[in-house]
Amino acid sequence: MAHKVTLIPGDGIGPEVTRATVRILEATGVKIDWEMVNAGASAYEKTGEYIPKELIESIERTGLGLKGPITTPIGGGFASINVALRRKFELYANFRPIKSLPSLPTRFPDVDLVIVRENTEGEYSGIEHEVVPGVVEALKIITEKASTRIARFAFEYARREKRAKISAIHKANIMKMSDGLFLRCCRDIAKEYPEIPYAEHIIDNTCMQLVMNPYQYDTLVMENLYGDIISDLCAAFVGGLGLVPGANLGDGCAIFEAVHGSAPDIAGKDMANPTALLQSAVLMLRHLREVEAADRIYAALEKTYKEKKHNTRDVGGTSGTTEFADAIIENMEAVAVVS
Ligand code: NAI
């Protein structure tokens, strides 16, 4: 039976990387029944809604989404559609594996980090108001419920995947109550997993330590904003934002999307690297237990990067989105013959 998946192409480079990814998924032979409904600026132009009712209904039906990036205006305009979707479907865990691909020249080889980011609260609560002219207050919400839930997610993942250790990243030296609560929840959950080494690190020092030596970390769990920033920093270890996938996971619903945004600087030019969304789709296939197809795409991805002939510009090549996707499809046949 075909898997039902809601497909959200998004804005900017979203439609290009989505098209490439869907072509590759279709070449695996896995049967997917796509329900395509857009959100964001492109949806607004057509329907007058940033999150069309049809999209909510589709995700409620499928419980599964593959999503391109959505542009969010800076310093005004509508609130983030991404944050709204994560909250609406209680996608409380943002899971971002940062793993080196072969043959890409980066400062550090063989990086294998995992970022587990709380996805529903913190500074992203979006509660801001002007107290008096010239003074604005923003509320950072930290709850025991969400902090415990994300800590448990991180430890369960680490136990299942036999990860080496967990580091909780915080600023509890300054934000004693809010980050203090987050840290207390992590500490309490850590006690239930005595076999997993657990440590706590202050966010600013963590940034420096990561850049000096990323191998000293393994799985990092943190609040929403810290996770957003650290994800981009760590993306640089493996070749940049064009590569890093992500999953927004809740109980009974999941939306897979790249870490990167809509990249307006290269949109519509067939220049974007589709690897990040493709790797997000590989995570989705594993979630659907389509392990053989996921392995085949990953093997083709590794082979394509090893060949160095079809790299996109962000990783030092000259190929476009379409040519890169063509190479993956061709290599999927080659790896299928070998295996
Ligand atoms: P961005 O991630 O869109 O771009 C940052 C830099 O990375 C740009 O130079 C861009 O060209 C490059 N880049 C990103 N993805 C790439 C890819 N696949 N291939 C090659 N190069 C790539 O971040 P920026 O410019 O800060 O944000 C643009 C818009 O995207 C904003 O409106 C932001 O709010 C939104 N955004 C949406 C996200 C989502 O939908 N999940 C996540 C992050 C940002």
* pLDDT tens string 270-310: 999 999 999 999 999 999 999 999 999 999 999 999 999 99
Q: Which residue in this structure is represented by tokens 């590989």? A: 282
How much of the chain exceeds pLDDT 70, in percent?
98
Residue with CA closest to ligand 1 atom 17: 242
d(CA 221, CA 205): 15
Which burial class, exposed, middle or buried, applies to 158 when counting CB atoms under 10 A from its CB (0-12, 13-18, 19+)?
Answer: buried
pLDDT score, position 338: 61
Residue with CA closest to ligand 1 atom 6: 263
Q: Which residues are catalytic?
A: 124, 171, 204, 228
21 lines ligand 1 (CB under 6 A): no
Give the ligand 1 atom nearest the CA of 71: 32
Nearby residues of 162 by Cβ (< 8 Å), 6 or more positions away: none
pLDDT band at 42 (very low <50, low <70, confident <90, very high): confident
pLDDT score, position 75: 74
Q: Convert 206-242 to b/e letters by CB count within 10 Å (16 or more is b).
A: bbeebeeebeebbbbbbbbbbbbebbeebbbbbbbbb
Report the separation in Å between the CA atom of 14 and the middle of ligand 1, taken as the mean of its atom positions. 10
27 lines ligand 1 (CB under 6 A): no
70 lines ligand 1 (CB under 6 A): yes
pLDDT band at 337 (very low <50, low <70, confident <90, very high): low
282 lines ligand 1 (CB under 6 A): no
Q: Convert 66-87 to b/e letters by CB count within 10 Å (16 or more is b).
A: bbbbbbbeeeeeeebbbbbbbb
Residue with CA closest to ligand 1 atom 12: 263
Instruction: Name the residue of 19, 124, 257, 262 whose CB sits within 8 Å of the most ligand 1 atoms, as the mutation to test its pocket.
Output: 262
Report the separation in Å between the CA atom of 188 and the middle of ligand 1, taken as the mean of its atom positions. 36
Q: Give the pLDDT confidence of 149-163 residue by residue, as tens digits.
A: 999 999 999 999 999
Q: Domains in the chain, please, with CATH?
A: 1-106+239-339 (3.40.718.10), 118-219 (no CATH)
Give the ligand 1 atom nearest the CA of 10: 40
